[in-house]
Chains A and B, each alone.
Chain A
């Protein structure tokens, strides 16, 4: 009887059933889509972060740079050449020097911090890295004047003051100069700790990655994209800080369309020695024992290392910028509120229509009570009708939602995100073809002063196609909402019905 009556009511009052079900369906579809897009955006953010920080990193430790003290260099590399530097042919001196130093905007700290971090409770693993920038200066300039004693130097070049002879030499043969400043990022890392840190987010393209035996060896692994653009290959050598390194492998980022965290990876101890940063680190990658320990680990590290910046993946997610961040804001603000508003509206519609349905059926329920139906039976009947209506809406909503997600995934909008955080030296884009050609005799204008700070964007931009996943939990949420809405409307409607007096059956009108 229950099911017969229920079926007949829903079929007999199609319009009411349809309105309630459509309301629920739209709300549920919206919730599904927003939920799914939100997890898609989250995954995209994670993939941007992964390309920079590596997989499995829960917390990163770095130190904000302190302003340089008076007299110290402004942070950029300084190239100094003595009089005998370079090789001179035909009055032109070729100068080349490469320097390896701590990355711009990064600050190094003593490696003992790593032991401190490892000593914190619930730290499963930690590894330190040293973020460096290698800058190579290549230049051609006219041969140097040898001083002011009046003797003519060995070359044919003279300077002003010697009877108006035109300057000679230099790349243009007329006393001009030409320079190239080329830079790439170098990451020193512990070759034995590959489970965590930047190299955990890459896959090997060619050759091999660094292993424990590489400690102290002049070997390097290159980002495959960088290797291609710099025309380097496995088996060749690369000049880092004036030392030739053997290229043993190339790696690519696991995240699509994205460069890996650094251009070049070398063993940490070699990096420390070459850059003069003995016993120093710039970042520590920390893995917590479990996700529930992250905040405790973060707090303990902050307490143990008061000067350090301790960031969790969540903190880092907020550093992801670009359209990804816009999408994330859109989903978390507009999407959330919109779906909440539509959900509330759908629930209200369901409740109001159920109440009005009960009111319209006053005589019907009065009659059933008069012939002996209990309040519980009538409440159950009303609640059952609402629940089934909610479930019909839920099923329709899931269908609409899945179609919506399918459409989003077919379109797959591309979001770009770049991760940057203060004091954290990220993948340097390849240093552009630095340098300027001084073309005229007066020395030309050098557009990039060297010896001073160089501007460099310490950020990795990653293009990620949004993929909204369909998860069991999203479907479960939808079904839950449908049941909740149905039960809520049913409970209120049923309560109203149970309050009706059986004497209502005797009302001749209505």
Chain B
């Protein structure tokens, strides 16, 4: 699924040059369930940005499937994100003025799906995370767990190849955490999509097939 070759990312912070990723070589196969752990400032977020096609490396290459996204123009990169990558965020990142149903539909908007099909697929995605009866609710009318389930529905509605989750349970209590993890793992298991979870939580990391540790810009296997 992913091939990272001598991937380096540096950026300037004031007068300081930060080496967020240093010559990272990494391959992640399709359908893997990977957990990424590491201390704050170690490069977790930067690695996730690279995997998600949200930023470009300073040097080295990264390919998603057959596409080298290292120097891809913005427009094409946005299309790859729209088609192949699903995101789940720590703070859910739902659009506050849109209902659950409409939030899920935003993921289909860039794919040029007709309104009718869009509504049907969004309703199905919501049903698959157990929120069929909450479709018309605004995010503020939902609990944290429900909001994250809407976010998961938004990520999976486009049937992506990979699901990137950034601390998906960081803002939830333990009970809800397990509920969300079960949904994510179920997607991985049933649909065979690649699941990459960035987490602080060892309990979450332990459930993954493969655990990566990133510290000072260097990735090691555990």
Binding site for B on A (CB under 8 A): 1, 4-5, 8-9, 11-13, 363-364, 366-375, 377, 501-503, 505-506, 508
Contact with A along B17-56 (1 / 0, CB 8 A): 0000000000000000000000000000100110010110
Which single member of B80, B91, B105, B158 contacts A1 (CB below 8 Å)?
Answer: B105
Instruction: Please name all residues of chain B whose beta carbon is closer than 8 Å to the beta carbon of A370 when the two chains form the complex.
Output: 52, 54, 81, 87
CA distance A11 to B138 in the complex (A): 13
Supposing A8-B98, A12-B97, A502-B81 touch, asked if A371 and B87 sit within 8 A by C-beta, the answer is: yes
Supposing A8-B102, A372-B81 touch, asked if A508 and B167 sit within 8 A by C-beta, the answer is: yes
Assess the A372–B89 pair: CB atoms within 8 A: no
A184 to chain B, nearest CB (A): 78
Q: Which of B63-71, B106-114, B184-192, B210-218 contacts A (4 or more CB under 8 A)?
A: B106-114
Assess the B90–A369 pair: CB atoms within 8 A: no
* Contact residues on B (Cβ < 8 Å of other chain), bracket: 35 or more
A13 to chain B, nearest CB (A): 7
Assess the A372–B102 pair: CB atoms within 8 A: no
Instruction: Please name all residues of chain A whose beta carbon is closer than 8 Å to the beta carbon of B80 when the two chains form the complex.
Output: 372
CA distance A18 to B182 in the complex (A): 44
Q: List 15 A-B contacts (CB under 8 A).
A: A1-B109, A4-B98, A368-B95, A369-B54, A369-B78, A370-B87, A371-B81, A371-B106, A371-B154, A373-B82, A373-B109, A374-B78, A377-B109, A505-B54, A506-B45
B128 to chain A, nearest CB (A): 18
Instruction: Assess whether B75 is interfacial by the CB under 8 Å rule.
Output: yes
Instruction: Please name all residues of chain A whose beta carbon is closer than 8 Å to the beta carbon of B90 when the two chains form the complex.
Output: 508
> Which B-chain residue is minimally distant from A6 (CB atoms)?
B97
Supposing A8-B98, A9-B97, A13-B97 touch, asked if A375 and B74 sit within 8 A by C-beta, the answer is: yes
Instruction: Please name all residues of chain A whose beta carbon is closer than 8 Å to the beta carbon of B83 when the two chains form the complex.
Output: 372
> Which A-chain residue is minimally distant from B113 (CB atoms)?
A1
Instruction: Please name all residues of chain A whose beta carbon is closer than 8 Å to the beta carbon of B98 when the two chains form the complex.
Output: 4-5, 8
> Which B-chain residue is minimally distant from A375 (CB atoms)?
B74
Which single member of B82, B93, B107 contacts A505 (CB below 8 Å)?
Answer: B93
Assess the B109–A12 pair: CB atoms within 8 A: no
Instruction: Assess whether B161 is interfacial by the CB under 8 Å rule.
Output: no
Instruction: Please name all residues of chain B whose beta carbon is closer than 8 Å to the beta carbon of A366 when the two chains form the complex.
Output: 93
Which single member of A1, A364, A372 contacts B82 (CB below 8 Å)?
Answer: A372
Instruction: Please name all residues of chain A whose beta carbon is closer than 8 Å to the beta carbon of B106 when the two chains form the complex.
Output: 1, 5, 368, 371, 373
Give chain B interface residues in 159-216, CB to chain A under 8 Å.
166-167, 170
Supposing A1-B109, A370-B87, A372-B107 touch, asked if A503 and B54 sit within 8 A by C-beta, the answer is: yes
Assess the A374–B49 pair: CB atoms within 8 A: no
Which single member of B54, B82, B85 contacts A506 (CB below 8 Å)?
Answer: B54
B46 to chain A, nearest CB (A): 9
Instruction: Assess whether B79 is interfacial by the CB under 8 Å rule.
Output: yes
Assess the A5–B102 pair: CB atoms within 8 A: yes
Supposing A12-B97, A13-B97, A371-B81 touch, asked if A506 and B102 sit within 8 A by C-beta, the answer is: no
Instruction: Please name all residues of chain A whose beta carbon is closer than 8 Å to the beta carbon of B74 when the two chains form the complex.
Output: 375
List 6 additional contacts besides A1-B102, A371-B155, A373-B78; criterion CB under 8 Å: A363-B93, A371-B86, A371-B110, A373-B82, A505-B54, A505-B93
B101 to chain A, nearest CB (A): 10
Binding site for A on B (CB under 8 A): 45, 48-49, 52, 54-55, 74-75, 78-83, 85-87, 89-91, 93, 95-98, 102, 105-107, 109-111, 115, 118, 154-155, 158, 166-167, 170
> Which A-chain residue is minimally distant from B95 (CB atoms)?
A364
CA distance A505 to B102 in the complex (A): 19
Assess the A4–B102 pair: CB atoms within 8 A: yes
Instruction: Please name all residues of chain B whose beta carbon is closer than 8 Å to the beta carbon of A506 when the two chains form the complex.
Output: 45, 48-49, 54, 89, 166
Instruction: Please name all residues of chain B whose beta carbon is closer than 8 Å to the beta carbon of A4 when the two chains form the complex.
Output: 98, 102
CA distance A16 to B78 in the complex (A): 30
Assess the A373–B110 pair: CB atoms within 8 A: yes
Assess the B110–A372 pair: CB atoms within 8 A: yes
Instruction: Please name all residues of chain B whose beta carbon is closer than 8 Å to the beta carbon of A501 when the two chains form the complex.
Output: 54-55
CA distance A374 to B109 in the complex (A): 10
CA distance A12 to B87 in the complex (A): 25
CA distance A370 to B53 in the complex (A): 8
> Which B-chain residue is minimally distant from A372 (CB atoms)?
B82
A14 to chain B, nearest CB (A): 11
CA distance A370 to B170 in the complex (A): 20
CA distance A131 to B49 in the complex (A): 90
Supposing A8-B97, A12-B96, A371-B81 touch, asked if A508 and B91 sit within 8 A by C-beta, the answer is: yes
Instruction: Please name all residues of chain A whose beta carbon is closer than 8 Å to the beta carbon of B102 when the two chains form the complex.
Output: 1, 4-5, 8
> Which B-chain residue is minimally distant from A376 (CB atoms)?
B75
CA distance A338 to B83 in the complex (A): 53
> Which B-chain residue is minimally distant from A503 (CB atoms)?
B54
Instruction: Please name all residues of chain A whose beta carbon is closer than 8 Å to the beta carbon of B115 when the two chains form the complex.
Output: 1
Instruction: Please name all residues of chain A whose beta carbon is closer than 8 Å to the beta carbon of B95 when the two chains form the complex.
Output: 5, 364, 367-368
Assess the A372–B79 pair: CB atoms within 8 A: yes
CA distance A13 to B54 in the complex (A): 28
Which single member of B54, B75, B158 contacts A502 (CB below 8 Å)?
Answer: B54
Instruction: Please name all residues of chain B whose beta carbon is closer than 8 Å to the beta carbon of A367 when the two chains form the complex.
Output: 87, 89, 93, 95
> Which B-chain residue is minimally distant from A364 (CB atoms)?
B95
Assess the A371–B107 pair: CB atoms within 8 A: yes
B74 to chain A, nearest CB (A): 7
Instruction: Please name all residues of chain B whose beta carbon is closer than 8 Å to the beta carbon of A363 when the two chains form the complex.
Output: 91, 93
With most chain B CB atoms within 10 A of its CB, the pick from A8, A11, A367, A369 is: A367
Supposing A4-B102, A508-B91 touch, asked if A372 and B97 sit within 8 A by C-beta, the answer is: no
CA distance A370 to B55 in the complex (A): 10
A368 to chain B, nearest CB (A): 6
CA distance A505 to B45 in the complex (A): 11
Instruction: Please name all residues of chain A whose beta carbon is closer than 8 Å to the beta carbon of B109 when the two chains form the complex.
Output: 1, 373, 377
Assess the B54–A377 pair: CB atoms within 8 A: no
A8 to chain B, nearest CB (A): 4
CA distance A485 to B55 in the complex (A): 34
